[in-house]
Structure 1
Amino acid sequence: MDTKMCRVLGLAIAVLFLTTSLASAACNEDDLRALLSFNSSFPPHTLHNWINTEDCCSWGGIYCDDGTGRVTSLLFSNEPFNDFEPTDLVGPMPPSVGDLSELVGIRFENLPNLVGPLPRQLSKLKKLKSISIYNTNLSGPIPSFLSQLPALEQLMMTSSQFSGSIPPSLGSLEKLRDVVLPGNGLTGSIPPSLFSRLDRSVLATLSLGQNKLAGAVPRSFATVAFQAIELHDNGLTGDASFLFGKSKPVNSILLGQNRLSFDLTGVEYPVGNLEYLDISHNEIYGSISEQIKEATKLTYVDMSYNKLCGRIPSGGSFGNITSRYFSHNKCLCGSPLPPCKK
């Protein structure tokens, strides 16, 4: 997943958490019991500032609703964040997290000692909008019970140890717009059902890079309003030309390091927003249309290691692209490669 998109999604998550500030209202008794149970699941003194005689809304990692005192978000990191000292959670995610019935967001990052599968009790959190997991040793399959979370908008589980296939049942979620699962060990094909119930006016993100996925990119994605689709470093095959389109809002298309095969000649490039394009290390053939020069925001292009031919368009975004990003094709020519034969 590219750095800019990480920053954009990170900002969106931060807004979700910070809109529920540390509160002055007293902590709800049910939430207090759940948090004390959560704390008891880890080695003593892990969460040493969680004292059962104090208001739990003042504890590190806890965000509450100002008016009700209900716990709405959890944030744990092994790095400093928002004046909270680093916390290293050792062991599995406690089932008691499912007893925090008003939770809207969960964020666990840079916690290499957090292990095991996601607890089934997460399915009880009917108001949960965001699950963000980054750089942990949580493992096991992406559980199908996540499809029981009707409010879920963001499923982001990155650089962890998740394996198995992506559950087709995630496609039943009407609000799920960001599916971000790169850097795991996922296998199988991409379910065509993903985003099938999402309103077509809502911008979506699909990031599945650096997994072990195979098969074709679902043609149902042709009508999804992606702002980013990142499928690089897998074993995907077949046609992906339908992900392109002159009027599409996408700013990042990363398809490199697959086995995709389609004719690039007639592809129209998104002209309004496209910034990052990587189709390298595939079996894509045909030529590069002059229309790509209309994509004036394009700052990164890699078309190397394909079967492309013909003259590379000159001018526009191609003025600053070096030869290595067009190398190892069948017969591309023209700047920055050697001149075309007359």
Structure 2
Amino acid sequence: MKSLMTILTSQMSFLLLVLFYITTFHKSMSSNHKVVGCNEKDKKTLLMFKNGLIDDYHMISTWTIEKDCCSWEGVYCDNITDRVTKVDLSFNNLEGKINLCILELEFLSYLDLRDNAFDVISLPTIQHNITHASKLVYLDLSFNHGHRLHMDNLHWLSPLSSLKYLNLGDIDLHNETNWLQMVVPLPSLLEFRCSACNLNNFTINLSIENLNLTSLQTLDLSFNNFNSKLPKQLFNLTKDLSYLDLSVSNIVGEIPSSLSNLRNLSFLDLSVNQFKGSFPDGIGQLEYIEYLDISYNQLKGSILDGIGQLTHLHYLDISRNMLNGSNDFSGVISQITFSNLSRLEFLDLSWSNFVFQFDLEWIPPFQLRELCLEYTNQGPNFPSWIYTQKSLKVLDLSNSGISLIDINKFSNLIEGILHLYLSNNSLIGDISNLTLKCHNLYLDHNNFTGGLPNISPMVYSVDLSYNSFSGSIPHSWKNLKDIYYINLWSNALSGEVLGHLSNLKQLIVMNLGENEFSGTIPINMSQQLEVIILRGNQFEGIIPTQLFNLSSLFHLDLAYNKLSGSISECVYNLTHMVTYHVTEIPRATVNLFTKGQDYVYEVRPERRTIDLSSNNFSGKVPMELFRLVQLQTLNLSHNNFIGTIPKTIGGMKNMESLDLSNNKFCGEIPQSMVLLNFLDYLNISYNNFSGKIPTGTQLQSFNASSYIGNPNLCGAPLKNCTTEEENHKYATPSKGDEDCDSFREFLYLGMGVGFAVSFWGICGSLFLIRKWRHTYFRFLDQVVDKLYVALMVKLNNFH
């Protein structure tokens, strides 16, 4: 019995061991082949959210009923509970509606919908619908670039007690007057960004004045329109703020002294506002600050002593604090100012009245990457301490009064700089042996001599105008494949340049005026060209038809050359002069001759211009030229054009400056010219115009000098027309009408000669050739006989 029990016990133990092994193995296999199962409630919520989306690019094509929602694009589930915890659909080109029902996801902690193209936000009564929203930690709805998102209130934020990151950038919140009161009660909030939200007030409710946003570390309210002072209480709401951006928000008044209480600040941007007065005295107490930008305000006084204590500073911009047109920041800047700023990488003191006093042997403790001292008094010597900055990638010393340089040190310095701006100084030297690595090179308005420097293919824009460079374009310039802007105006350059530059297919602005260039205009030029200035050179030949096929061209100046031929009818293909297009030419300087005045400076040229004056053009001006209705300046003077002004000129309603003087135009001035209401300059002198000047406020506003040299032209402001001149102005052609009538005379003469030749050709043949003569008279007899028979039949019928 005992042995039986022992056997049974052994068998039971074995069976239990086998069962345990099978169970363990099964669980192990199950864990290795686990099928993720999305919660049905979560799935239903996500599908409801999807119903409002427009997914033209099929970025969320995986969101189907057939698939598990935990495998959907941008959806993340918890590994254990299979509940949705994160939804990231950023940068997916999604359109349509953001339905905030998605916040009903019970375990959602992260939601990122930024950088799409949504145009509507649906705000359900989420205080009742969302019961677990307190788990949400991260929420980003910013910068959706469709129709701008509007949101009337922020009351829906109140249940989000766990929220740490909130970004509503570019959502229009102008109807929410209590936005700050909605944010302050969020106890866990670390980062709040509301840039470009159209916020328009900075009111603080007294009931929350003593509340602390103890957790808030980042506050970005840039690009708004507050149009109010900065409330003093704002900086009392939190003491731990490390990032504060209030730039470009139209804030007025003084900077509150309580700003200095934010001892943990590392980033402070107050630029492009209307702050006045002095910067708070406690700036030196912001010991951890690394980034400080207070540029483009109206601040005054001395700020330098406090800045010298900011040992962590790597970015400093206090430029352009202008009040009534002058900069009121003052004080002496010396090596003492920067002695503790060993981490400084960016320095902008532009447009300031500081007095710079550096020892010639001073070597700064920092290595700058960017230095901007535009419109400061640095000269006449190039600041020697700048030669020590071997890491410079951006250098702007424009308008700083510098004339003397150490050419060797200067050459070593600028060869490695990517963005070099030295405009409007008096720098002298020969840099023809240099190869510059610049992306942007601006050396205009100096006294550089010798040949042009070599430039690496990475360059985008070059302005070497108003110097004394000579010689031809370097062969290396043929490789500037990405360049969009060239300005060589007013040098002593020569050679056939256009063949070199025709390879530059990205070129937008080409200004070669006032040099000694020669050759012809090539057929193939960049199709991107918007501005062509070849004025004051030795170019010759015709204007190729292809030039008028540059649809983006809106400024064409070929004046004072040796060009000839006529104007092609293809001129109408200059579509930017037919319909208005916005031009985008960054930091381009274009010289403009208009209204009879010399060239003037324009930073962003938009004037539609055609100037072909002082060449050898001839023939009639095509009607198509007078259909360029966006044209503002037209100058055809000092050529040999003939013909009349068409009536269609009245449609050029944007015309401000018109010069047709010193040509051979003729006929009457069309009545439609009185419709040119913006015409501010007119010169049609020294042509062959005749008749009466049309009566209208516009044409009579110009003095007689605009019309002189047209003997048969009368009417105000010239002499009064007589009755005979008005009624019989074409009765006796005068010498002034000869050119206008020449075509008609040639036509009549041609018709007469043709008739005579035909007549005598036929008669001569009949006289000389007997067979033809007999045939001709036989034909006449037959015709006479037939006419006689027909006549007699008619008479008999009549009787």
Q: TM-score, normalised by structure 2?
A: 0.35
Question: 1:121: Cα distance to partner?
Answer: 4.9
Q: Which residue of 1 aligns with 2:356?
A: 334
Say if 1:250 and 1:270, in contact at 8 Å, map to a contact too. no
Question: 1:43: Cα distance to partner?
Answer: 4.4
Say if 2:260 and 2:285, in contact at 8 Å, map to a contact too. yes
Structure 1 residues 247 and 115 mapped into 2: Cα distance closer, same or farther (>3 Å)? closer
Please identify the structure whose Cα radius of gyration is greater.
Answer: 2
Show CA shifts across 1:170-203 (max 9, x none). Answer: 212212221101123222226475993432xx35
Question: 1:160: Cα distance to partner?
Answer: 4.3
CA distance in 2 between counterparts of 1:38 and 1:195 reads: 39
Q: Which residue of 1 aligns with 2:112?
A: 107
CA distance in 2 between counterparts of 1:284 and 1:267 reads: 15
* Residue 68 (structure 2) pairs with residue 55 (structure 1): yes
Show CA shifts across 1:119-177 (max 9, x none). Answer: 23555223222211232042233523213322222221223444334522321221222
Show CA shifts across 1:29-83 (max 9, x none). Answer: 21011112222333476632123233211111112222211111211123xxxxx
CA distance in 1 between counterparts of 2:280 and 2:182 reads: 36
CA distance in 2 between counterparts of 1:27 and 1:301 reads: 52
CA distance in 2 between counterparts of 1:296 and 1:107 reads: 37
Q: Which residue of 2 aligns with 1:254?
A: 269
Say if 1:28 and 1:69, in contact at 8 Å, map to a contact too. yes
The farther-off stretch of 280-289 and 187-196 is: 187-196
Structure 1 residues 72 and 209 mapped into 2: Cα distance closer, same or farther (>3 Å)? same
Q: Which residue of 1 aligns with 2:386?
A: none
More strand by share: 1
Q: Aligned runs of 1:141-180 on 2, under 5 Å?
A: 141-164=152-175, 165=177, 167=179, 168-180=181-193
Q: Aligned runs of 1:231-242 on 2, under 5 Å?
A: 231-242=246-257
- Match for residue 46 of structure 2 among 19, 28, 35: 35
Structure 1 residues 95 and 159 mapped into 2: Cα distance closer, same or farther (>3 Å)? closer
Structure 1 residues 191 and 133 mapped into 2: Cα distance closer, same or farther (>3 Å)? farther
More helix by share: 2
Show CA shifts across 1:295-327 (max 9, x none). Answer: 2221211112223221232433397655xx323
Q: Which residue of 2 aligns with 1:5?
A: none
Q: Which residue of 2 aligns with 1:133?
A: 141
Question: Unaligned 5+ residue runs, structure 1?
Answer: 1-22, 79-86
CA distance in 1 between counterparts of 2:314 and 2:107 reads: 42
CA distance in 2 between counterparts of 1:282 and 1:261 reads: 7
Show CA shifts across 1:239-272 (max 9, x none). Answer: 3243543871111100011111232262323554
CA distance in 2 between counterparts of 1:247 and 1:163 reads: 28
Say if 1:238 and 1:259, in contact at 8 Å, map to a contact too. yes
Question: Unaligned 5+ residue runs, structure 2?
Answer: 1-33, 322-327, 358-372, 379-799
What SS class does the counterpart of residue 113 from structure 2 fall into?
A: strand
Q: Which residue of 1 aligns with 2:341?
A: 317
Say if 2:256 and 2:280, in contact at 8 Å, map to a contact too. no
* Residue 326 (structure 2) pairs with residue 305 (structure 1): no
CA distance in 2 between counterparts of 1:195 and 1:176 reads: 17
Structure 1 residues 128 and 241 mapped into 2: Cα distance closer, same or farther (>3 Å)? same
Structure 1 residues 194 and 96 mapped into 2: Cα distance closer, same or farther (>3 Å)? farther
Say if 1:39 and 1:47, in contact at 8 Å, map to a contact too. no
Q: Which residue of 1 aligns with 2:242?
A: 227
Q: Which residue of 2 aligns with 1:77?
A: 90
CA distance in 1 between counterparts of 2:63 and 2:345 reads: 54
Structure 1 residues 77 and 65 mapped into 2: Cα distance closer, same or farther (>3 Å)? same
Structure 1 residues 332 and 181 mapped into 2: Cα distance closer, same or farther (>3 Å)? same
Q: Which residue of 1 aligns with 2:683?
A: none
- The share of aligned pairs that are identical, in percent, is 23
What SS class does the counterpart of residue 151 from structure 1 fall into?
A: coil
What SS class does the counterpart of residue 141 from structure 1 fall into?
A: coil
State the superposition RMSD in angstroms: 2.9
What SS class does the counterpart of residue 260 from structure 2 fall into?
A: coil
CA distance in 2 between counterparts of 1:100 and 1:314 reads: 54
CA distance in 2 between counterparts of 1:194 and 1:127 reads: 28
Q: Which residue of 2 aligns with 1:84?
A: none
Question: Quick one: higher RCO (CA 8 Å, sep 6+), 1 or 2?
Answer: 1
CA distance in 1 between counterparts of 2:232 and 2:241 reads: 13
Q: Which residue of 1 aligns with 2:308?
A: 293
Say if 1:118 and 1:138, in contact at 8 Å, map to a contact too. no
CA distance in 2 between counterparts of 1:24 and 1:230 reads: 47
CA distance in 1 between counterparts of 2:216 and 2:100 reads: 33
Say if 1:271 and 1:296, in contact at 8 Å, map to a contact too. no
What SS class does the counterpart of residue 88 from structure 2 fall into?
A: strand
Say if 2:151 and 2:171, in contact at 8 Å, map to a contact too. no
